[in-house]
C-alpha cells in the first residue's frame, strides 16, 4: 500500500492537473506576492513518465532581468536528487508552485560547474502573454546569443557564486536517432548556435495516450522524421483547453511557426558535473507548435502540420540505397536540416567508400514555380573533407538562397536527390592557357589551348574553339578560362545575387537554374561595355542613352547594371571536375 505521503502527493498532483483543464481554473501567484524564503515545489520527470515533486526555496526576484517588466524569480532546488544532478537540460518549462498556485516555469540555470541547484523561474504572467502575440511571423532573426543575466552582488553572495557566474537558459536536448557521429560533428555547430545540446536518443511507438499531457510531462518538437530523426525536448508548464505552454524561454525565437509536437519520454537523467541532461525518446505526433517567443513556446494538441518529403537515392557500383525523410519547413532551419539528412544518407551506405567522387541529380519542387535543378559533380578538395560534404552544402546553399528571397515565402513541396558514386576520382586543375595571336578580327575563329593538370597522371592539353562575334567593336577584350565556380561567383553572381533588384521568386529560380556546372571547361569573352539585366533578361552592350532611361525607372523595371558585358561564352564537357582560372588579353582590330 502506498504511504500516506505518497497518497498526499497523488492527491496534490491530481488537484494541480485538474486545475489546468480550464483557463478559469488556473490559480496563479503574481510576482508582487513572492518574497525571499517562500517554500514551493517544482514538478518534473527524471525517469520514465513519472512526474516527481522537488522542493524549492525562493532566493529573491530579479526585476527587469531579461527586459523591461520581464522579471526572473531566483530559486534554490532542494533534495538529494537535485543535489546530485543540479538543474538538468530538458527541465525547461517544469511548473513551479507555491501554496498550490502556479508561479511559472523553471527556465534558467546558474552557469556551469556550480555545486548548488540554482534556477531562474519565468513568471506565468509573462508566459501567458504569448497568447496575445501577433499571428503574423516574426521577422527572421539572427542566430540568438545565449541570454546571460549577471547576478546582483547580494544574490551572488547568497548563492555563493563567483563574480563570473551568470543565469543562462537551461539547455534544450536535441535528440537524434540514426545520426552518424561524422554528421553530428560537421553539422552540430549549426544547432548548437541555437542553444541545442545534441545527444543520442530514440523513438518510441505511438500510443493513444500520447496526447494526454500533464504539467511536468515532456514534449518533443520534431525537426526531421523518417530514416533520420531530430527532435528537441521541453517540459510542459500548463495544458489549457488543448493548448500547451512549455519551456519558459524561447526555443529558437522564430515567432509564429508551424512545427510538429510529439510525446516525449524520459529514459533516464544523466548526472554530470558540467551539464546534466535528460535522455529522452519521442513518440507519436500530438499537435503543432505555433508560437516560439522569448518567455515560452505555445502549441495546440491535434493534427500536426505538413512536413517536406525528402528522398535521397544513393547508387553505388554494388547496390542502391533509398532513404526517406520528412523535414519541417522553416526558412532558418530547413537548409541545414536538408543538408544534414542528405549527408547522413550518403555516408550511411557501406559501399560509399568505393568511390571518392559523387554525381548529383535532383530537384526542389516549389508550389507554383519552376523546380530548382540540382546537378553537379563533386570531389574532395582536401583529405579531411569528403565529397559528400560539398554536395550537402551546395544543397544547403540553394535552399538558403530560395528562403532568403525578398519576394515571397516559398512553399517547398518535395525534394528529390539522386547521388551516384563514381569509382575513380576525375578532376583537373587549369595550369595555363594560350592562343596563337592576341590581335583578332570580328568573326574570326580561334583555338584556345588549355593546359590541365589532373589529380593523377600526366598533364594534357584541351582545345576550346571560340569565335569572336561579328558585331564586336574594336578595342580590348578579356578572355577568361575558368571553372564553373569562378563564373558563378564572379561573373553571373554580379547579376544574379542582386536579389533585391529582381521582381519575383521565379526570376531568382531561373537564374539559379542557369548556373554553370563544374564538370565543364569554360571560356568567357568579356568586353568593357555595360550590360543591363531587366528581370531575368540579359541585355549586353546597352548604349548610354538606354541606361539613362532605365536608370530613371529602375524600380519599376527591376533593372540592374553591370559595367561589363559577356561577348560570348563557350564550354566543353570534361566528365571530370575542373578547378582554377586563367586570363588572356585580346585586342580586336
**pLDDT tens sequence across 217-262:** 999 999 999 998 999 899 999 998 899 999 999 988 899 999 999 9
Query: Both 164 and 261 in a single domain?
Result: yes
Q: How far apart are CA 400 and CA 502, in angstroms?
A: 17
Q: Is 51 exposed, middle or buried (0-12, 13-18, 19+ CB in 10 A)?
A: buried
- 334-347 and 387-403 are packed helices; what angle lies between their axes, rounded to 10 degrees? 160
d(CA 305, CA 288): 6
Our count of domains for the chain comes to 3
Residue 190 inside a domain? The answer is no
pLDDT digits (tens, 9 = 90+) for 342-367: 999 888 777 676 557 899 999 999 99
Summarised one tens digit per residue, pLDDT across range 157-212 is 565 555 446 788 888 888 888 888 888 888 877 777 766 667 667 788 888 999 99
Query: Which of 393, 422, 451 represents a domain boundary (last residue)?
Result: 422
Which CATH number goes with the domain that contains 335?
Answer: 3.10.20
pLDDT per residue as tens digits for the range 504-539: 899 889 888 988 888 999 999 988 776 555 554 555
What pLDDT band is residue 115 in, cutting at 50, 70 and 90? low
Distance CA 105, CA 121 (A): 5
Are 283 and 150 members of one domain?
yes
Q: Do the domain assignments include residue 184?
A: no
> What is the crossing angle of helices 505-513 and 387-403, to 10°?
160
Q: Is it the case that residue 576 has pLDDT exceeding 70?
A: yes
**Are residues 376 and 435 located together in one domain of the fold?**
no
CATH number at 37 reads: 2.40.10.10
In this structure, are 386 and 471 located in the same domain? no
C-alpha cell at 310: 525528402
18: its cell numbers: 485538474
pTM over 0.85: no
Q: Which domain holds residue 161?
A: 1-177+195-305
Residue 218 within any structural domain of the chain: yes
541 in the same domain as 470:
yes
Rg (CA), the chain: 30
Q: What percentage of the chain exceeds 70 in pLDDT?
A: 79
State the pLDDT at residue 351.
66
Question: What is the structure's pLDDT at 496?
Answer: 42
Residue 133 — very low, low, confident or very high, per pLDDT cuts 50/70/90? low
Assess whether 139 and 93 both reside in one domain.
yes
Structural domain includes residue 551: yes
| Residue 390 resides in a domain | yes
Q: For residue 187, tell me if it sits in a domain.
A: no
Determine the Cα–Cα distance for residues 338 and 325; give it in Å rounded to an integer: 9
* Cell numbers standing for residue 169: 537558459
Check whether 20 has a pLDDT greater than 50.
Answer: no
The residue with cell 539547455 is 171
Q: How far apart are the first and last CA of the chain?
A: 105
Single out the residue in 401, 422, 443 at which a domain terminates.
422
Residues 15 and 40 in one domain: yes
Q: How far apart are CA 491 and CA 495, in angstroms?
A: 8
**Could you tell me if residue 133 is inside a domain?**
yes
**What does the pLDDT read at residue 138?**
45
User: Is residue 69's pLDDT more than 80?
Assistant: yes
Domain-ending residue, one of 385, 407, 422: 422
Q: Are residues 437 and 527 in the same domain?
A: yes
Element counts in the chain: helices (H) and strands (E): 12, 34
What is the DSSP code (8-state) at residue 28?
Answer: B
Predicted confidence at residue 139, as pLDDT, reads: 44
Same domain? For 82 and 64 the reply is yes
Answer yes or no: do 359 and 450 share one domain. Answer: no
Whether 272 is covered by a domain: the verdict is yes
Residues 106 and 147 in one domain: yes
User: Are the beta carbons of 516 and 522 closer than 8 angstroms?
Assistant: yes
The mean pLDDT value for 146-154 works out to: 60
| 478 in the same domain as 339 | no
Amino acid at each position: 500500500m502506498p504511504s500516506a505521503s505518497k497518497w498526499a502527493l497523488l492527491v496534490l498532483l491530481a488537484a494541480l492537473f485538474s486545475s489546468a483543464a480550464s483557463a478559469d481554473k488556473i490559480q496563479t501567484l503574481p510576482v508582487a506576492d513572492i518574497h525571499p524564503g517562500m517554500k514551493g515545489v517544482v514538478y518534473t520527470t527524471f525517469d520514465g513518465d513519472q512526474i516527481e515533486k522537488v522542493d524549492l526555496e525562493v532566493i529573491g526576484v530579479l526585476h527587469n532581468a531579461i527586459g523591461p517588466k520581464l522579471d526572473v524569480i531566483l530559486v534554490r532546488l532542494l533534495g538529494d536528487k537535485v543535489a546530485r544532478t543540479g538543474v538538468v537540460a530538458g527541465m525547461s518549462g517544469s511548473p513551479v508552485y507555491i501554496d498550490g498556485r502556479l508561479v511559472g516555469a523553471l527556465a534558467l540555470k546558474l552557469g556551469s560547474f556550480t555545486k548548488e541547484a540554482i534556477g531562474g523561474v519565468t513568471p506565468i504572467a509573462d508566459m501567458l502573454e504569448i497568447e496575445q502575440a501577433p499571428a503574423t511571423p516574426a521577422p527572421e532573426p539572427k542566430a540568438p546569443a545565449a541570454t546571460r543575466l549577471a547576478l546582483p552582488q547580494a544574490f551572488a553572495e547568497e548563492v555563493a557564486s563567483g563574480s563570473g557566474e551568470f543565469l543562462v537558459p537551461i539547455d534544450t536536448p536535441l535528440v537524434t536517432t540514426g545520426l552518424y557521429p561524422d554528421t553530428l560533428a560537421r553539422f552540430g555547430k549549426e544547432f548548437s548556435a541555437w542553444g541545442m545540446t545534441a545527444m543520442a536518443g530514440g523513438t518510441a511507438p505511438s500510443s493513444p495516450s500520447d496526447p494526454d499531457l500533464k504539467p511536468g510531462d515532456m514534449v518533443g518538437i520534431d525537426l526531421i522524421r523518417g530514416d533520420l530523426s531530430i527532435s528537441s525536448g521541453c517540459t510542459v508548464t500548463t495544458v489549457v483547453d488543448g493548448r500547451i505552454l512549455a519551456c519558459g524561454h524561447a526555443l529558437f525565437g522564430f515567432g509564429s511557426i508551424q512545427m510538429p509536437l510529439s510525446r516525449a519520454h524520459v529514459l533516464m537523467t544523466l548526472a554530470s558535473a558540467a551539464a546534466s541532461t535528460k535522455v529522452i525518446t519521442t513518440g507519436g505526433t500530438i499537435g503543432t507548435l505555433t508560437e516560439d517567443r522569448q518567455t515560452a513556446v505555445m502549441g495546440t494538441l491535434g493534427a500536426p502540420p505538413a512536413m517536406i518529403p525528402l528522398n535521397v537515392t544513393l547508387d553505388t557500383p554494388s547496390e542502391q540505397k533509398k532513404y526517406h525523410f520528412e523535414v519541417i519547413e522553416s526558412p532558418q532551419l530547413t537548409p541545414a536540416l536538408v543538408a544534414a539528412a542528405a549527408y547522413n544518407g550518403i555516408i550511411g551506405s557501406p559501399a560509399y567508400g568505393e568511390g571518392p567522387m559523387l554525381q548529383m541529380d535532383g530537384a526542389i519542387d516549389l508550389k507554383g514555380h519552376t523546380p530548382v535543378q540540382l546537378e553537379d559533380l563533386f570531389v574532395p578538395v582536401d583529405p579531411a573533407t569528403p565529397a559528400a560534404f560539398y554536395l550537402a552544402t551546395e544543397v544547403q546553399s540553394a535552399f538558403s538562397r530560395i528562403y532568403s528571397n525578398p519576394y515571397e515565402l516559398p512553399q517547398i513541396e518535395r525534394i528529390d536527390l539522386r547521388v551516384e558514386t563514381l569509382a575513380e576520382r576525375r578532376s583537373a586543375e587549369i595550369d595555363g592557357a594560350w592562343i596563337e595571336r592576341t590581335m583578332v578580327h570580328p568573326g574570326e575563329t580561334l583555338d584556345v589551348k588549355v593546359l590541365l593538370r589532373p589529380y593523377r597522371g600526366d598533364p594534357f592539353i584541351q582545345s576550346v574553339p571560340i569565335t569572336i562575334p561579328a558585331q564586336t567593336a574594336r578595342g580590348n577584350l578579356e578572355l577568361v578560362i575558368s571553372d564553373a565556380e569562378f563564373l558563378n561567383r564572379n561573373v553571373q553572381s554580379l547579376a544574379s545575387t542582386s536579389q533585391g533588384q529582381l521582381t519575383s521568386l521565379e526570376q531568382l529560380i531561373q537564374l539559379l537554374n542557369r548556373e554553370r556546372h563544374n564538370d565543364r571547361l569554360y571560356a568567357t569573352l568579356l568586353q568593357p561595355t555595360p550590360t543591363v539585366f531587366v528581370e531575368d533578361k540579359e541585355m549586353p552592350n546597352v548604349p548610354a542613352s538606354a541606361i539613362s532611361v532605365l536608370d530613371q525607372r529602375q524600380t519599376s523595371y527591376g533593372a540592374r547594371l553591370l559595367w561589363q558585358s559577356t561577348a560570348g561564352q563557350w564550354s566543353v564537357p570534361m566528365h571530370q571536375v575542373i578547378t582554377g582560372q586563367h586570363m588572356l588579353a585580346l585586342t580586336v582590330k
